[in-house]
Structure 1
Amino acid sequence: MKVVYEAANLIDAHLVRHALEAAEIPVFLRGEQLLGGMGELPLFGVIAVCVPDVVWPQAREIVEALPLNEPPAAAADDEVGEGGWQPA
């Protein structure tokens, strides 16, 4: 098994996992069970998304295509136009 992605949090790890499983790539989340071990303290660098060695190149392409850690795109209707809302 090779690490294809080191997740900053559990949500990112599961997003990557589901994307890989949708491509029929087997996935193992290393360190998922350790999150509750420290109680309320955050743990970083503990969760790793692992795949078999033979599918690692394909899995890496999928992970690189995911919009992880990118700011959300601004919507076109966020701009204030004529008759639109005005900040206080």
Structure 2
Amino acid sequence: MKVVYQAANLIDAHLVRHALEAEEIPVFLQGEALTGGLGELPLFGTILVCVPDVVWPQAKDIVEALPLNQPAGPLTDDDQAPDSSQGWLPA
């Protein structure tokens, strides 16, 4: 098994995992069970997305094509929250 991606968090790891599994690439998340640990474990970088050696080049290309760790684009008028005149207020 080779590491194809070092995840920032559990959600990040599962996004990559699902993208790879959609292409029928088997995935193993190393360190997934350690995310709740405290003490001497590092806060980030404990989850490694691993794939078999033979599919690593294909998996690497898929991961590089994913929009990971990119800032969201600017908000548009459609993205703005509705005003209170529409009959409801956020909690």
**Structure 1 stretches of 5 or more lacking a match?**
79-88
**Aligned-pair RMSD on alpha carbons?**
1.8
Q: CA deviation at 1:76?
A: 4.1
Q: TM-score, normalised by structure 1?
A: 0.79
**Structure 2 stretches of 5 or more lacking a match?**
79-91
Distance 2:76 2:43 in 1: 37
Question: What amino acid is the match of 1:11?
Answer: I
Distance 1:3 1:66 in 2: 16
- What percent identity do the matched residue pairs reach? 79
List per-residue Cα deviations over 1:35-68 (Å, max 9, x = no partner).
Answer: 11218x9721110000000000000000000000
Corresponding residue for 1:72?
72
Distance 1:32 1:38 in 2: 14
Q: TM-score, normalised by structure 2?
A: 0.77
Corresponding residue for 2:8?
8
Question: What amino acid is the match of 2:20?
Answer: L
Within 5 Å, which residues of 2 pair with 1:1-88?
1-38=1-38, 43-77=43-77
Aligned length: 77
